[in-house]
Structure 1
Amino acid sequence: MQKVVVTGGLGFIGSHVVDALLAAGRQVTVIDSMVAAVTDGREYEVFPGCQVHRVSIADYLAQGGSFKDQDLVVHAASHVGPAGILKYQGSLGADIVAVTQQVIEECVTHDVALISFSSAEVYGRSGMLAESDDIIVPTHYNARLEYAIAKTLTEAATINSRHRGLRGFVIRPFNVVGPRQSRAGGFVMPTFVQQAIAGRPLTVFAGGGQERAFLSATDLARFITEHAGAAFESDRPIFNIGNPLNTITVWNLAERIIERLGSTSSIEHADARLIHGPLYEEAESIQKLPVLDAAKAVGWAPTITLDELIDETALYYRVRDDAREAAAVPLDAGARV
């Protein structure tokens, strides 16, 4: 698979996938609407085998673009983040589904393999979560549920399109973090790291007892560059990609970041709705941990530790600003509970 299209390739996950593909010598076509971009992509244009299109997928196809003669599409384009999705509530699900359906149709038409990104949010419950587990749909409607239902529908569309000849599978990533991730989406790691560097209080929501298993974006991208072939051959439809060895509560993560960075910051309980607005909701899953049987079966395992993730994220933000700073709430926004 030498010729690869990456949708959302200038976003956080997408850009790490592009990095890995270019390092592996692939020819890459990047398509990104720039809505949630964390890089402008100029660093990619120096590669002779890379093209960057700063348009939506719909506009790319409408303007004569095509997936014809490509070997693989990695579909990472989506609205993301517990805070980043809020302003799209009501149209969020339709947008996600419509874009993914366009990608699927183009892949079916031109016989191009597809890796489609979903989300661990689809499980709708707490615990150790495996691909074969039932998906729970809570009855409390909010933006996060709209997002989860939309991602579930894109999974079904991808998998059900196999009967039309689509070669495709789905990735469910668990709490991917690393350099370039913006706090603008409401993501906890870049928020805590940037607050600690600035000496601001680290703002913890909902008590901080939520357990998360943090995965390096580099480990995720390596699944695609080194194990996609085996994943296609396995004929498995869905792969959890995460790192249960990096499991930690949100409160303990705040403590670990302060310790690793030697920060003078304090930790404060905060009301997320006073920071991100009244539509903000916590995830249904207090404990969100991946079972990795499918990924292990094709030879993949995560390698980057939590401390390494904290250190490399801090190293990045000590010398760079958040690329989406204008869309983020101030570092010192918060209210004691």
Structure 2
Amino acid sequence: MTIEPIRPRSRRRHVLITGGLGFIGTHVADAFLAAGHAVTLVDSMVQAVTDGSWYRGMPEVAIHTISIEDYLEQGADLAAFDLVIHAASHVGPASILKYTGRLGFEIVNATHRVIEACLEAGRPLVVFSSAEVYGRSGRLAESDDLIVPVPYSTRVEYAIGKALTEAMTLNSRHRGLKGLVIRPFNVTGSRQSKAGGFVMPTFVQQALSGQPITVFAGGRQTRAFLAATDLARFLVEHLDAALASGHGIVNLGNPDNAVSVLELAHRIKRLAGSTSPIVHVDGKAIHGELYEEAASVDKLPVLDAAVAAGWTPRVGLDELIQQTIAFYRSHRDFCADEAA
């Protein structure tokens, strides 16, 4: 496959984003476009939040609705790009369940293919991991050991797959890869779909429709919600500093937004002006017997590497909730509708 370089008005970089039509991928793409870069988006459409129509007519954007494995199999040369961001992955505590028993392989296989292609092309690579890899509660730093909980639920299979992609990326630096791993903590905001089982868009859409707001496990879980726009800003404005720092893994989260899930439900109800009741239910009753809560009841990021690269999060919790409410007052949930 021959990729013609895209040349926007003030081209600085041409960035390949796998999973580029997904929740995180589109926010990352938008941030690079706003900074004057060009993007190529590769997405299998399995968890896309758009069909790509809002990018039509933009000369700085190329879209390939194909898996990254097939994209590479067709002969794509990553030397055409200045940077590769690998965000493609099955994700979400509910949506991963249908891949039980093959989830880990699919995560690892796709990442392996991207790593090898970046090595061959000599291109820098950012790989998205997950805070799920920690396997425990508390304040979680990049240097902490990881724990593998048992029994091996689908959620644990996901975490093991992500941990293995981290090891592959960091070990490949000994083979010449210029690679960085991002561990995001509960990234959320506009466009995120309830289809994955994500709590923020689920609560927001329930509140806006007057349906009961369904809280699992008593709502005692503590999460530090990060705006997708803050994550994207790190990649556009601070990636070079992070790559130069020598850190292989960077946590991205917002400790100031730490809140219990039950308190989140109350905040969303209030900010949406909703009359929805808040009800306590068993997650298995909604998503099936394979559903499990995360091993980390309290999941709080330590941001040493990100702060050293000059980044701090900006979007507060209420603002993040309001952005999500505003989006779903005027947009449908594309991914949930497509899955229905």
- Tell me whether the two structures share a fold, i.e. TM-score over 0.5: yes
The residue matched to 2:109 in structure 1 has which SS?
helix
Answering whether residue 209 of structure 2 is matched by residue 209 of structure 1, we say no
Q: TM-score, normalised by structure 1?
A: 0.96
RMSD: 1.0
Deviation at 1:204, TM superposition (A): 0.3
Answering whether residue 79 of structure 2 is matched by residue 73 of structure 1, we say no
Q: TM-score, normalised by structure 2?
A: 0.95
The residue matched to 2:143 in structure 1 has which SS?
coil
Contact 1:213 1:289 in 2 (8 A): yes
Please give the alpha-carbon distance, in whole angstroms, between the structure 2 residues aligned to 1:214 and 1:264.
24
Answering whether residue 206 of structure 2 is matched by residue 195 of structure 1, we say yes
Please give the alpha-carbon distance, in whole angstroms, between the structure 2 residues aligned to 1:200 and 1:281.
23
**Residue deviations 1:15-55, cap 9 Å, x none?**
10001011111111110000000011122232212110000
Please give the alpha-carbon distance, in whole angstroms, between the structure 1 residues aligned to 2:222 and 2:48.
28
Please give the alpha-carbon distance, in whole angstroms, between the structure 2 residues aligned to 1:254 and 1:91.
33
Counterparts of 1:270-285 in structure 2 under 5 Å? Answer: 270-285=281-296
Q: Structure 1 runs of 4+ off > 4 angstroms? A: none
Counterparts of 1:309-328 in structure 2 under 5 Å? Answer: 309-326=320-337
The residue matched to 1:324 in structure 2 has which SS?
helix
Equivalent in the alignment of 2:129: 118
Please give the alpha-carbon distance, in whole angstroms, between the structure 1 residues aligned to 2:291 and 2:220.
18
Please give the alpha-carbon distance, in whole angstroms, between the structure 2 residues aligned to 1:291 and 1:63.
41
Answering whether residue 113 of structure 2 is matched by residue 102 of structure 1, we say yes
Answering whether residue 108 of structure 2 is matched by residue 85 of structure 1, we say no
Equivalent in the alignment of 1:334: none
Identity %: 62
The residue matched to 2:313 in structure 1 has which SS?
coil
Contact 1:28 1:49 in 2 (8 A): yes
Residue from 282, 300, 307 that aligns with 2:311: 300
Deviation at 1:328, TM superposition (A): 6.2
Deviation at 1:327, TM superposition (A): 5.8
**Residue deviations 1:276-298, cap 9 Å, x none?**
01100000000000000110001
Residue from 42, 45, 48 that aligns with 2:56: 45
Residue from 255, 258, 275 that aligns with 1:264: 275
The residue matched to 2:247 in structure 1 has which SS?
coil
Contact 2:255 2:300 in 1 (8 A): yes
The residue matched to 2:127 in structure 1 has which SS?
strand
Deviation at 1:104, TM superposition (A): 0.1
Equivalent in the alignment of 1:131: 142
Contact 1:183 1:328 in 2 (8 A): no
Report the AA paired with residue 104 of structure 2: G
Please give the alpha-carbon distance, in whole angstroms, between the structure 1 residues aligned to 2:240 and 2:337.
40
Equivalent in the alignment of 2:3: none
Please give the alpha-carbon distance, in whole angstroms, between the structure 2 residues aligned to 1:199 and 1:284.
31
Deviation at 1:261, TM superposition (A): 1.1
Unaligned runs of 5+ in 2: 1-11
The residue matched to 1:73 in structure 2 has which SS?
strand
The residue matched to 1:257 in structure 2 has which SS?
helix
Report the AA paired with residue 136 of structure 2: R
Please give the alpha-carbon distance, in whole angstroms, between the structure 2 residues aligned to 1:327 and 1:202.
22
Equivalent in the alignment of 1:141: 152
Deviation at 1:325, TM superposition (A): 2.4
**Residue deviations 1:163-217, cap 9 Å, x none?**
1110011000000000000000000000000000011110000110000000000
Answering whether residue 40 of structure 2 is matched by residue 19 of structure 1, we say no
Report the AA paired with residue 128 of structure 1: R
Deviation at 1:139, TM superposition (A): 1.8
Please give the alpha-carbon distance, in whole angstroms, between the structure 1 residues aligned to 2:34 and 2:58.
10
Contact 1:220 1:241 in 2 (8 A): yes
Please give the alpha-carbon distance, in whole angstroms, between the structure 1 residues aligned to 2:328 and 2:337.
16
Contact 2:153 2:290 in 1 (8 A): yes
Equivalent in the alignment of 1:291: 302
Contact 1:107 1:113 in 2 (8 A): yes
